[in-house]
Amino acid sequence: MPQEIERKFLVRDDSWRAAADAGTRYRQGYLSTEPRRVVRVRLGGDRAFVTIKGITRGIGRDEYEYPIPVADAETILDALAIRPLIEKTRHHVHHAGHLWEVDVFAGENAGLVVAEVELPSEDTPVDLPPWVGAEVSHDPRYSNAALVEKPYSSWSR
């Protein structure tokens, strides 16, 4: 069974940008945000995917992802997805043998910058980059599905 195992962190400053790629803009929407079965459609560049995720256990969960036609993704995002859509630019940064994904959110989640690292197992050691701040892996508010339900702009900070 395919599994996603990832740790998620807030980003403390922009120093990650020196090692980052140009990034890819994403639009993604959810057909279900129910924690036991999250269903997402993501459009980035000229590629689109539907992803089904199971319940999170620790920092892992079952994940199934399949390519879909871009035109189908656009229609689903425009006509069927729960609002607001997630808008973000994802950058890739290599650090100490791991590929980090840094998401810079826009729209109703503007101001939020999160870094994630996918791991082969929950106990894989990770050398944290200096630009990484507090770990939020176990804080459900930072999941993209939760950001649809309660966008970052609505949080009292």
Known catalytic residues?
Answer: 30
Sign of the dihedral through C-alpha 86, 153, 7, 99: positive
Name 86's Cβ contacts closer than 8 Å, sequence gap at least 6. 26, 27, 28, 29, 105, 107, 109, 144, 147, 148
Distance, CA of 128 to chain centre: 18
Which amino acid appears at position 70 of this protein?
V
The answer to whether residues 50 and 66 touch, using CB atoms and an 8 Å cutoff, is: yes
Count Cα atoms within 13 angstroms, Cβ side, for 4. Answer: 17
Rounded to whole angstroms, how far apart are CA atoms 11 and 131? Answer: 6
Q: Where are the alpha helices (DSSP H) in the chain?
A: 70-79, 144-149
